[in-house]
Structure 1
Amino acid sequence: MVFSNLPGLIKGSKMGKFSDPNKPIGLGLAIQRATEMNPDGTAVVYQDTHLTYRQFNAWSNRVADYLSSIGLKKGDSIAVDIENRPELLATVVGAAKIGVCSALINTSQRGKVLVHSFNLVQPKAALIGAELTDAINEVRDQLELASDRFYCWADQDTLEDSGSVPAGYHNIADAIRDCSSENPEQANRIFLKDPLFYIYTSGTTGLPKAVVFNHGRWEKAYGAFGFAAVRLKKDDRMYSTLPFYHATGMVISWASAIAAGAGLVLARRFSASRFWDDVRKYNCTAFAYVGELCRYLHEQPAKANDADNRVHVIVGNGLRPSIWKDFKARFGIDRVVELYASSEGNVAFTNVFNFDNTVGFSPVGYAIIKYDKEKDEPVLGADGHMIKVAKGEAGLLIGEITDKTPFDGYTDKDKTESSILRNVFRKGDAYFNTGDMMRDIGFKHAQFVDRLGDTFRWKGENVSTTEVEQILDGADDVIESVVYGVEIPNTNGRAGMAEVRLAKAHASFDFKTLCAHLKRELPPYAIPVFLRVTEAAVDTTGTFKHQKNKLKEEKYDLTKHNDPVYVLLPGEDCYQRLTPEIQQGIDGGQYRF
């Protein structure tokens, strides 16, 4: 396998170490190369819309020309809030070609979180999908952008018919109609450090952070996954139901298709019952995943035609070891390109060699160091430096910061600095703290273990405990809260749980009003599944950090404590008191979280 794919592996490895600051690169040029390579081949499929590379490239060029005509230039930012559909892709590529950075707002954000994400990047314009204008309008008076700089794509095939948009927005499909379809000259002046988009991450504290994802980093992913790991051909089709405000969708799955001049089949959202029907309908040969997606597919009733599909490779992260081999066998999948990466990180692993139950290997400098979870800090040796774990041991993954593996950081310089560990193994060195526990399994391969600190992962999303605590503490009659993630048997990640101290007895507390508050201010994945009500003050450390280890261990188990617990069951609109019978049902898989 290695020798048969050696050209791609070499090319991808070279691109992964690309560091020339003067060579034109990036998403826009990659689309243009794919267009030259396969002009009449499928570029994007969405429902009944089929676009060739020639058509898609021309469309994105019109977007680029219009954005230039209204004064946008290299280094400016635009806010982009559009669900998965071709208009999102054309917007991002059009902006990329002229060096404008797209802030990819999480489409589930509402209220103060949406305001924060929007204003954080100081956009010069906003391009909104009509499906999300209600969310924008709720907070529009708080958004720091002139009223005449809001543009909208109608929620339909706007190439076929530009449609109508709500009052207060320019119809972008009408605006670009007479713009140039030729490749803009600016696309040849995009370099390594030029920002491509902002991706929002919960990080470890507070409201979302905007991570700078530049063209150089995109080029490295394009090489590593497109040429070395996924290795599609131009007649392949990549199916992606993942949200494209995340790097796994926007970068990994799409770049893998672009590198080969292959097609991207885009779905608005994931449906376990419709997934394989869509794969067969659109002749897909690959798909992108997160662990929850695979679990949901695996939980569907077995069918005689499960393996009757053309999929030969899948790419993503979080496939559970407990279903890995069975999943491959059931659906007839040859290769699993499991990966580990983060939107802001400088280290990544890829399962290039198709081993089972591993995130693969990393060609860049990294270390897995001993970490004291109780003290929440690295273990230091007698020399004052950190200590690498032995083979087979788990520890904190850190990525070496060098010219070839930079840490581009966040919009907030203080947050950037707080993510860097210095003088790790020698005086003057610097490493990015991933906040993730990994196990060293040898041969530069690793297995993902868990996340550390004040962030946990649920429904494929990173949840900031501090952000949820701020929203909870702002609710009526909630005095204090502490948020953490807990494991539910046979689910991926950790479900949100909060210990709360109330201003009144829990029996008379208005849980319906609390639910409405949480749904208004938080995306669905961040709303706590469990609430543990306490009358005592929340335990803290000497530095006023919440003591969460014991809470995580006791979780929602009624046999381990006497506090009342409330649960938001799937499909319900309000919390209800947890009983031993409901707990037994949760642990036994009766409820599908």
Structure 2
Amino acid sequence: MNQDTVSARDIFRSLPGVLRRFPAIAKGLYYYSVKDENADLTLGKLIEQNAEKYGNRPAILFEDRSITWSELDTWSNRIAHYLKDKGLVKGEAIAVLLENRPELLAVVAGAAKVGIACAMLNTSQKGKVLAHSINLIQPRMVVVGEELVEHIEDIRADIRPRHSQPFQFLADTNTMNSFGDAPAGYTNMAEQISSYSGTRPLVSNPPTMGDTAIYLFTSGTTGLPKAAPGSHRKFVKAYGGFGMMSLAMEPEDVLYCTLPLYHGTALLVCWGSVLAGGSAIALRRKFSATAFWDDVRRYNATTFGYVGELCRYLLNQPPSDQDRNHSLTKMIGNGLRPSIWKEFKERFGIETVAELYASSEGNIGFSNFFNMDNTVGFSTAPYKLVKYHEGTRDPIRNGKGKLEEVKKGEPGLLIGEITKKWSFEGYTQKEATEQSILRDAFKKGDAWFNTGDVLKEIGFGHLQFVDRMGDTFRWKGENVSTTEVENIIDGSGMVEEAIVYGVEIPGTNGKAGMVTLVPHNNGKDFDVNRLFAYLQANLPPYAVPVFVRVTRAIEKTGTFKYRKVDIQKLGYSLRPREEVYAWLPGTSGYTLVDSELVSRIDAGEVRF
């Protein structure tokens, strides 16, 4: 039976484990609580501390490479000197388009040392969406890996980096000693930085904890991706809160990370935890369920970073007598569903599930500090769970124009109070930032960040995630903006109108994308696979709708608003005079859905 409550007895039982971690907790609390925005406590400083304490210990493990903390420090110093020499200064940004490999972390660290922020581009993005993301930041340079040059080539005419050498190339090799050949129009960055000093850079205006270190892209709630600035403070909070207080990381620990490093869970939470312990991060370019445990054994990993979907994929693998033949005891991430929580821990012998709740742009986070089951933990930030309009991310205001909290145990929209201590860094676009703020919520002059997520309290301040609301949904570990997908579909010239939403599929996490559309010519000669090819060319794979409903009209309210909740409840069920198509696993196009296929999907026989 799944645990859906947290009691005093549960807290008491967890105390021996908390006491064992007490030295790490006390130290972590110091870092987590630092308030001075001007403190000389930055990502670069954290790396330098580890280089001094654990210089000969591994910092990064990747394929057959092992890079020590001393080597990472020296490598990032060369990059810092190079960027500085090329005229980049504190407060400017570069865009980074690299798969999970050591070069990405070295670039982020080197840039951080001289106060330059890295915009972490989603490697799945291409076409209009990628160009939009780059132009949001207006970077001086774009650092691109050989494995993703084609993505940049397709949009070079649409982006505007502000530098005489805007395109920096990193070969898909060990660039510490092998530079490769840069294509025409690109500067070979690895070759260039090899001639620079490995000493720590001296800058007249050094970065501080409150300065922006990274930009993470989020689909937010409406429109194309938004860029959320992340300060050095976020690394420091992850360093103290997750690495020390939740996981008590040590130099001997190895955290296996297959999550993409353009995600906050990987870059901030996983790497921040590794920094805290002077531990090693073992990287894989992309998650593989079949290779997962072999990699864990290869790297002797003790910890791994997860999203809920990843855990489900591992559970779906056939049971083996090797399921517990590994050194993993801890895991950190988000989205582990109560329905598989206990089964996952027991099958694979996991002791600590450091489930968390946070967002790239948000001012509030939760951590499963007491290692309870089925909870994102608790938060020291001020928050409330309030009543909301079903099917939206909008809170309900009462007759006095104020928000109302839900009763204890009821699902509610999570909002976090914006204060000096719990500031909201928001987005680069002021309008998008303002749209996420609820003002005069409970009293005149107050301000709250609207997470757009529904959670419920299950006891002793512990919350459980319920659902993601409004105009985003989560699929394959990614947030998908319905408006972004709708805009891309509108650009195809094939439809009169389209509405995108998420639908649940048995046996999966999150919600799969679905579009209900009215084709041009009222359905005549509509080529669904021409639409599929267009979507694949302009959207990352996780954002391409899994289901397409072709209809002759989409029902609206009297004020011309779509009845989105009603459409969503239909899911992929069949109706007269409509066709439903599905993008089935392992196929390269849409398949017409019939009643037999609906039954197979409902029975969980189709593995999405």
TM-score (norm 2): 0.95
Q: Could you tell me which residue of structure 2 aligns to residue 479 of structure 1?
A: 496
Which of the residues 358, 362, 368 maps onto 1:351? 368
Question: Counterparts of 2:78 and 2:184 in 1: how far apart (Å)?
Answer: 23
**Residue pairs, 1:19-30, within 5 angstroms:** 19-30=35-46
Question: Counterparts of 2:346 and 2:516 in 1: how far apart (Å)?
Answer: 42
Q: Could you tell me which residue of structure 2 aligns to residue 498 of structure 1?
A: 515
What is the Cα deviation at residue 434 of structure 1? 0.2
What is the Cα deviation at residue 185 of structure 1? 2.6
Q: Could you tell me which residue of structure 1 aligns to residue 251 of structure 2?
A: 234
Q: Structure 1 residues 541 and 255, CA, compared in 2 at 3 Å: closer, same or farther?
A: farther
Q: Could you tell me which residue of structure 2 aligns to residue 111 of structure 1?
A: 127
SS at match of 1:323: helix
Question: Counterparts of 2:272 and 2:32 in 1: how far apart (Å)?
Answer: 13
Q: Could you tell me which residue of structure 1 aligns to residue 406 of structure 2?
A: 389
SS at match of 1:33: helix
What is the Cα deviation at residue 180 of structure 1? 1.2
Which of the residues 570, 575, 583 maps onto 2:590? 575
Q: Could you tell me which residue of structure 1 aligns to residue 26 of structure 2?
A: 10
Which of the residues 231, 252, 268 maps onto 1:214? 231
Moved more, 95-104 or 469-478: 469-478
Which of the residues 95, 102, 110 maps onto 1:86? 102
Q: Could you tell me which residue of structure 1 aligns to residue 7 of structure 2?
A: none
Q: Structure 1 residues 260 and 187, CA, compared in 2 at 3 Å: closer, same or farther?
A: farther
What is the Cα deviation at residue 213 of structure 1? 0.5
Assess if the C-alpha contact under 8 Å between 1:24 and 1:188 holds in 2: no
Assess if the C-alpha contact under 8 Å between 2:391 and 2:469 holds in 1: no
Which of the residues 32, 50, 56 maps onto 1:40? 56
What is the Cα deviation at residue 258 of structure 1? 0.9
Question: Counterparts of 1:170 and 1:290 in 2: how far apart (Å)?
Answer: 36
Assess if the C-alpha contact under 8 Å between 1:28 and 1:97 holds in 2: yes
Assess if the C-alpha contact under 8 Å between 2:90 and 2:205 holds in 1: no
SS at match of 1:421: strand
Question: Counterparts of 2:391 and 2:606 in 1: how far apart (Å)?
Answer: 32
Q: Structure 1 residues 505 and 573, CA, compared in 2 at 3 Å: closer, same or farther?
A: farther
State the AA in 1 paired with 2:292.
F
Question: Counterparts of 2:453 and 2:84 in 1: how far apart (Å)?
Answer: 41
SS at match of 2:154: helix
Superimposed CA distance per residue, residues 400-457 of structure 1 (whole angstroms, 9 cap, x where no aligned partner): 1111110011111011111001112221111100000000122221000001110000
Assess if the C-alpha contact under 8 Å between 2:243 and 2:273 holds in 1: yes
Superimposed CA distance per residue, residues 345-401 of structure 1 (whole angstroms, 9 cap, x where no aligned partner): 111000011100000111111111111216763233454321112221110000111
What is the Cα deviation at residue 15 of structure 1? 2.7
Q: Structure 1 residues 14 and 393, CA, compared in 2 at 3 Å: closer, same or farther?
A: farther
What is the Cα deviation at residue 479 of structure 1? 1.1
Question: Counterparts of 2:190 and 2:590 in 1: how far apart (Å)?
Answer: 43
Q: Could you tell me which residue of structure 2 aligns to residue 331 of structure 1?
A: 348
What is the Cα deviation at residue 540 of structure 1? 4.9
Q: Could you tell me which residue of structure 1 aligns to residue 191 of structure 2?
A: 174
Assess if the C-alpha contact under 8 Å between 2:393 and 2:453 holds in 1: no
SS at match of 2:165: helix
Assess if the C-alpha contact under 8 Å between 2:393 and 2:413 holds in 1: no
SS at match of 1:404: coil
What is the Cα deviation at residue 4 of structure 1? 2.3
What is the Cα deviation at residue 514 of structure 1? 1.0
Q: Could you tell me which residue of structure 1 aligns to residue 384 of structure 2?
A: 367
What is the Cα deviation at residue 534 of structure 1? 1.2
Q: Could you tell me which residue of structure 2 aligns to residue 415 of structure 1?
A: 432
Q: Structure 1 residues 374 and 123, CA, compared in 2 at 3 Å: closer, same or farther?
A: closer
SS at match of 1:316: strand
What is the Cα deviation at residue 516 of structure 1? 1.2
Question: Counterparts of 1:137 and 1:396 in 2: how far apart (Å)?
Answer: 42
Question: Counterparts of 1:464 and 1:187 in 2: how far apart (Å)?
Answer: 42
Structure 2: gaps (5+ residues): 1-16
What is the Cα deviation at residue 505 of structure 1? 5.5
Superimposed CA distance per residue, residues 56-100 of structure 1 (whole angstroms, 9 cap, x where no aligned partner): 110011001100000011000001101100011111100011000
Question: Counterparts of 2:57 and 2:432 in 1: how far apart (Å)?
Answer: 44
Q: Structure 1 residues 285 and 553, CA, compared in 2 at 3 Å: closer, same or farther?
A: same
What is the alpha-carbon root mean square deviation over aligned residues? 1.5
Which of the residues 484, 487, 494 maps onto 1:470? 487
Q: Could you tell me which residue of structure 1 aligns to residue 117 of structure 2?
A: 101
Moved more, 454-463 or 161-170: 161-170
What is the Cα deviation at residue 147 of structure 1? 6.2
SS at match of 1:109: coil
Question: Counterparts of 1:427 and 1:327 in 2: how far apart (Å)?
Answer: 47
SS at match of 1:148: coil
State the AA in 2 paired with 1:575.
Y
Q: Could you tell me which residue of structure 1 aligns to residue 599 of structure 2?
A: 584
Question: Counterparts of 1:561 and 1:300 in 2: how far apart (Å)?
Answer: 38
Structure 1: gaps (5+ residues): none
State the AA in 1 paired with 2:406.
V
Q: Structure 1 residues 281 and 123, CA, compared in 2 at 3 Å: closer, same or farther?
A: same
Assess if the C-alpha contact under 8 Å between 1:24 and 1:190 holds in 2: yes
Q: Identity percentage over the alignment?
A: 49
Alignment of 1:126 with 2:160, yes or no, is: no
Moved more, 7-16 or 486-495: 7-16
What is the Cα deviation at residue 167 of structure 1? 1.6
SS at match of 1:476: coil
Q: Structure 1 residues 375 and 164, CA, compared in 2 at 3 Å: closer, same or farther?
A: closer
Q: Structure 1 residues 333 and 507, CA, compared in 2 at 3 Å: closer, same or farther?
A: farther
Alignment of 1:254 with 2:271, yes or no, is: yes
SS at match of 1:372: coil
SS at match of 2:215: strand
Assess if the C-alpha contact under 8 Å between 1:482 and 1:538 holds in 2: no
State the AA in 1 paired with 2:152.
I
Which of the residues 88, 91, 99 maps onto 1:75? 91
Superimposed CA distance per residue, residues 202-240 of structure 1 (whole angstroms, 9 cap, x where no aligned partner): 011111000011111221122111111111110110000
Question: Counterparts of 1:462 and 1:532 in 2: how far apart (Å)?
Answer: 22
What is the Cα deviation at residue 557 of structure 1? 1.3
Alignment of 1:57 with 2:73, yes or no, is: yes
Q: Structure 1 residues 541 and 225, CA, compared in 2 at 3 Å: closer, same or farther?
A: farther
Alignment of 1:515 with 2:532, yes or no, is: yes
Question: Counterparts of 2:266 and 2:433 in 1: how far apart (Å)?
Answer: 24
Moved more, 147-156 or 172-181: 147-156
What is the Cα deviation at residue 478 of structure 1? 1.0
Q: Could you tell me which residue of structure 2 aligns to residue 322 of structure 1?
A: 339
Q: Structure 1 residues 556 and 381, CA, compared in 2 at 3 Å: closer, same or farther?
A: same
How many residues align? The count is: 591
Assess if the C-alpha contact under 8 Å between 1:29 and 1:187 holds in 2: no
Which of the residues 294, 298, 308 maps onto 1:291? 308
TM-score (norm 1): 0.97
Superimposed CA distance per residue, residues 467-516 of structure 1 (whole angstroms, 9 cap, x where no aligned partner): 10011111132111000000000100000000100113647312222111
Which of the residues 467, 471, 480 maps onto 1:450? 467
Question: Counterparts of 1:142 and 1:375 in 2: how far apart (Å)?
Answer: 34
Question: Counterparts of 2:305 and 2:436 in 1: how far apart (Å)?
Answer: 29
Which of the residues 180, 183, 189 maps onto 2:200? 183
